[in-house]
Amino acid sequence: MKRNPRDLVRYNASERANHWVVGICFILLALSGLAFFHPAFFPLTQLFGGGPWTRILHPYIGVVMAVFFIIMACRFAKLNIVEPRDIDWLKNVNKMIDGDDHDMPEQGKYNGGQKLLFWGLVIGMLLITVTGVLMWRAWWTLPVGVVRAASVVHAIAAVWMIGLIIMHVYAAIWTRGTIRAMLYGTVTRAWAKQHHRGWYRKMTGDND
């Protein structure tokens, strides 16, 4: 894609690569996890070379995702601190859903919904990682009661994460121009001014 010199850089190559590593790992973990969650999904293990290989690969893919998610969270945590204007944005979110987002409170690089999603993913990732470690019997043996409790929390956290990611993908598709930012790293000035006016002002110095 040929870049317009007036476009604004939203994500650099490193940030985009970090995002896609986490995203791809999540898809692989969701598919392999569902295979163990219910017999109806067990055929999904064929994507990983069968049941034994799926059981072996699942936790290691989880380690990769956890590491890259921590890097990503550290990169974006400061930008996702909830501010009073984000609360105002959330109170008026119905306007945006109705397509009337021109009068929404001015937002920075991320809006209130994106910030809630970010912290929801952080909580989900923390739960899914800790419980996953407790369940990893290939490396250590814990009391069966601990493993069972961890398994339940792990499943709940996984459903939580899948739900949030579906919302994330839907919102990215619904807001035209958003996916381009993570594919190519840039957004148009019109997109930035409409959806993230505060960030647009900071990037351009335009106070109109």
Residues classed as catalytic: 168
Contacts of residue 45, Cβ cutoff 8 Å, sequence gap at least 6: 32, 35, 51, 53, 54
As given in the structure block, the two tokens for residue 208 are 């109109």
Residues linked to residue 8 through DSSP beta bridges, in sequence order: 187
Residue 95, number of CB atoms within 10 A of its CB = 15
Whole-angstrom Cα distance, residue 154 to residue 158?
6
> Tell me, what amino acid is at 13?
A
